[in-house]
Amino acid sequence: MEFKDRYDRNFNTFSPEEQKKLGASTVAIIGLGGLGGGVCEMLARVGIGRLILVDGDVFEASNLNRQVLSEERLMGVPKAEAARDRVRAVNSGIEVIHRIEFLDEKTLYETIKGSDVVMDCLDSIDTRFKLQDAAKKAGVPLVSGAIAGVTGQVTTIFPEDKGYALIYGEKSRKQGKGVETKTGNIAYCALFTAALQSSECVKIILNRGDILRNKLLIAELWTNLFEVMDLV
Amino acid sequence: MIKIDLRLFVTLSGYLPENNECFEIHGDTTVEKLVRDLGIPDGLVKLIFINGKREDRTYILKQGDRVGLFPPVGGG
């Protein structure tokens, strides 16, 4: 498929040079559930050239309410496999590396090393701290999304930033889940938050626009509250 | 007494008092005391924003402050 046809509607929001820059970039998406599935879909369509897709989990019925990659016929199928197939179906020009495993500190670092951006689409706070540590070590900026019910939050953490300690507190390194265990997660909030994460990713790669660095964007959809808070 | 604009998010919303947008408190109240007075269990408040900026629990509230309290949000 011709470059100019495939990306015709990206122009001139992106210039052809910017589109090529996206095509020459690598993004690692860690977690392929409600957030990661949406991020995967959007970054594939935007035209990121290389995607590293990581999740050790398989689909189950409770994913169907919000995870775009989940389908009834895919129950029991690894999420990373479904993500790979989806990217291939949407944009066969993308190089996909998929890993069906839950990563630890060492493998996280090995997996994200050399990426231009890491997307934190995980579902537990302790693992988020581990991914942040790996991203700092690898010198890669991290775009974080987190959701509970109809509340979403997004921030971008550069290697030298304090990051999650400002949001969850350093003492929360060992905390598992947040309040999403009580609220569940709603489809439109997951995809809305994934969209904001995707936007941050593109802005980092293109070095364009305002990035949520040391800031936390909070959206609360019952009351239509959208606010960018200063973390420092 | 001073008045603050108080917002409680996600699972904290159950602790929201009446008249929260014009909530009356003593002049020397810290966020920590406010949280206790609202009956919010220890450890449930993870993020405190005053007028759009992150603050600590020791922050002393001032007249007209816009206060937002958040529990930990970690889902994906």
Q: Give domain status of residue B38, yes or no.
A: yes
Average pLDDT for chain A: 96
The C-alpha of B48 sits at a distance from chain A's nearest C-alpha, in angstroms, of 9
> What CATH number is given to the structural domain containing B20?
3.10.20.30
How far, in Å, are A49, A55, A110 from residue A138 at the CA level? 20, 20, 9
Q: Give domain status of residue B63, yes or no.
A: yes
CATH architecture of A3-230: 3-Layer(aba) Sandwich (3.40)
The C-alpha of B11 sits at a distance from chain A's nearest C-alpha, in angstroms, of 7
Nearest C-alpha in B relative to A147: B75
- Prediction ipTM score: 0.93
Phi and psi dihedrals of B8, rounded to 5? -120, 135
Give the pLDDT confidence score for residue B42 in this predicted structure.
83
Instruction: Kindly report each contact of residues A14-20 with a partner whose C-beta sits within 8 Å and lies 24 or more positions away, as own/partner.
Output: A14/A206, A18/A206, A18/A208, A19/A47
Give the pLDDT confidence score for residue A174 in this predicted structure.
80
Asked if A168's CB is within 8 angstroms of B72's CB, the reply is: yes
Chain A residues within an 8 Å CB radius of B74: 122-125, 128, 146, 148, 168, 175, 177-178, 180
Whether the predicted pLDDT of B72 surpasses 90: yes
Token pair of A225, please?
């509250």
Asked if A148's CB is within 8 angstroms of B73's CB, the reply is: yes
Token pair of A63, please?
């994913």
Band of residue A212 on the pLDDT scale cut at 50, 70, 90: very high
A126 near B CB under 8 A: no
* Distance separating alpha carbons of residues A82 and A70, to the nearest angstrom: 8
The C-alpha of A21 sits at a distance from chain B's nearest C-alpha, in angstroms, of 28
Domain coordinates in residue numbering, chain A? 3-230
Tokens 């495939």 belong to which residue?
A6
- Predicted TM-score (pTM) of this structure: 0.96
**DSSP E strand boundaries for A70-220:** 95-99, 117-120, 142-148, 151-157, 215-220
Give the tens place of pLDDT for each residue, B16-64: 999 999 999 999 999 999 999 999 998 899 999 999 999 999 999 999 9
* Distance separating alpha carbons of residues A67 and A31, to the nearest angstrom: 11
Cis amide bond preceding A224, omega within 30: no
Give the tens place of pLDDT for each residue, A81-97: 999 999 999 999 999 99
Give the tens place of pLDDT for each residue, A41-50: 999 999 999 9
Amino acid at A1: M
Give the pLDDT confidence score for residue B8 in this predicted structure.
96
Whether the predicted pLDDT of A128 surpasses 90: yes
Give the tens place of pLDDT for each residue, A20-74: 999 999 999 999 999 999 999 999 999 999 999 999 999 999 999 999 999 999 9
Q: Give domain status of residue B75, yes or no.
A: no
How many domains does chain B contain in total? 1
Band of residue A172 on the pLDDT scale cut at 50, 70, 90: confident
Q: Which of A142-146, A155-159, A167-171 has the lowest mean pLDDT?
A: A167-171
Amino acid at A90: V
Token pair of A111, please?
């997996």
Residues spanned by the domain of B64: 2-70
∠ CA A206-A208-A213, rounded to 5° = 105
Q: Which of B52, B72, B74 sits opposite A229 (nearest CB)?
A: B52
The rounded Cα A3 to chain-centroid distance in angstroms is 25
Give the pLDDT confidence score for residue A176 in this predicted structure.
86
How far, in Å, are A1, A30, B37 from residue A131 at the CA level? 36, 9, 37
A185-215 in b/e form (b: 16+ CB < 10 A) is bbeebbbbbbbbbbbbbbbbbbeeeebbbbb
More confident residue, A1 or A3: A3
Q: Give domain status of residue B76, yes or no.
A: no
Partner B, chain A 71-100, Cβ-Cβ below 8 Å = none
Give the pLDDT confidence score for residue A219 in this predicted structure.
97
